[in-house]
Structure 1
Amino acid sequence: MKKMICLAAAAALSMGYLANVQAAGVSLDIGQTGDSSSNTVYRLGTQFDFSSKWFQSDVGHVGGYWDAAYTYWEGGESAGSHSISFTPMFVYEFAGETIRPYVEAGIGVALFSSTELDDHDIGTSFQFEDRIGAGLRFNNQELGLRAMHYSNAGIKQPNDGIETYSLHYRLSF
């Protein structure tokens, strides 16, 4: 009986913690690098919304989410390269009943499986990920465009950096 009470208490505490999370989501991005080699980039991510909203008005509010993602780089000499990233994103979501436009920006970190991406020598496996995006939210879904820049911020030379541009889809639950 004591074990059942402990399990019930642990489950209740877990449910209380999960209730504090505004929403969770899964996203898919498909895009290309911004250079002449035009590698295809596939990105699968998971997001957890911040539990706070700031500067709420009739026009909209500022919120955000934590994003953890896996990216596969395909094409050219980069074929088979991988990266994982973790980025806090800040979002301005405009007010709307069924469709809500948004803009987003964030700076996070990424780890690459290779420091050579075609003709780019990114110098280190550790990179910073700078992101901006815009799109529309509707019915627990989101569709948008994103631009991402990866750079080691001069930690080690060379530091060629690389950009990607992608179509983004997210499903929140």
Structure 2
Amino acid sequence: MLPNQTIWKPVCALAALLALQPAFAAEPLADSAAVEFGTGSKVQMLRLSVQKNWERSWLASNGTHLSGYWDANLAQWRGNAYQNRPGQHQNITVVNLTPVFRFERTDKKGWYGEAGIGVSLLSKLYDNDDNRLSTHFQFADHIGAGYVFDNKWELGAKIQHYSNGGYKKPNNGVNWLVVKVARPF
């Protein structure tokens, strides 16, 4: 089953913008990409994302600094207990944009820690395993850590939470444990 058509318009616009960026932009809109897999209570997620480094550093000291990047992603959630019925599935497409702060080494290799809070748009209202979200708009925050290898491949893990911030009930939230593999282009 295809997600709601309203979600495809921004997704297609983002894809077209990324595909055409070399022709129109002096500087690319993205400089790395990632694939992420997440799991929560009777729900799984596959997410594809692109990132754009801010190329700024703050609090530089002893070979480390605070920096950050923009993360734009498209995810597919699969709930396995739709409306609290085991074996009933719910598929949701999610578009997200998050500013992420990262504490890392100056050479951008080795261990890092990061945190971010962004905005998300869900194609359907989440209703899985007696856990419901009453709005399509959600905030997505995370805290994570990872390692950047000498060959620039990155492996990370994070804990992520989706919630509407309590502006409409029910707002149980959705929690994830996420693993990420990324590589700059």
1:61-120, Cα deviation, whole Å (9 max, x unpaired): 1111000011111241253211110000000013569x4100000111001112123122
**Percent of aligned pairs with the same amino acid:** 35
Find the aligned partners of 1:95 and 1:141 in 2 and give their Cα distance. Answer: 16
| Aligned CA distance change for structure 1 residues 57 and 43 (closer, same or farther; 3 Å) | same
CA RMSD between the two structures:
2.2
Find the aligned partners of 2:165 and 2:25 in 1 and give their Cα distance. Answer: 39
Find the aligned partners of 1:166 and 1:89 in 2 and give their Cα distance. Answer: 15
Which secondary structure state, in structure 2, belongs to the residue aligned with residue 56 of structure 1?
strand
Which secondary structure state, in structure 1, belongs to the residue aligned with residue 166 of structure 2?
coil
Is there any run of 5+ residues in structure 1 with no aligned partner, and where? 1-10
Count of equivalent residues = 155
What's the counterpart of residue 112 of structure 2?
102
Amino acid at match of 2:61: S
TM-score by length of structure 2 reads 0.76
Which of 34, 45, 48 aligns to 1:44? It is 48
Q: Contact conserved, 1:123 with 1:160, CA < 8 A, in 2? A: no
Largest Rg, 1 or 2: 1
Which of 32, 45, 48 aligns to 2:39? It is 32
Matched, 1:116 2:123: no
What's the counterpart of residue 69 of structure 2?
65
Which stretch has the larger CA shift, 101-110 or 74-83? 74-83
1:125-158, Cα deviation, whole Å (9 max, x unpaired): 0000111110101222210101110000111111
Amino acid at match of 2:111: P
Which secondary structure state, in structure 1, belongs to the residue aligned with residue 59 of structure 2?
coil
What's the counterpart of residue 3 of structure 2?
none
Find the aligned partners of 2:49 and 2:23 in 1 and give their Cα distance. Answer: 28
- Structure 1 residue 165: Cα displacement: 0.6
Is there any run of 5+ residues in structure 2 with no aligned partner, and where? 1-21, 83-88
- Structure 1 residue 12: Cα displacement: 10
Find the aligned partners of 2:32 and 2:138 in 1 and give their Cα distance. Answer: 24
Which secondary structure state, in structure 2, belongs to the residue aligned with residue 129 of structure 1?
strand
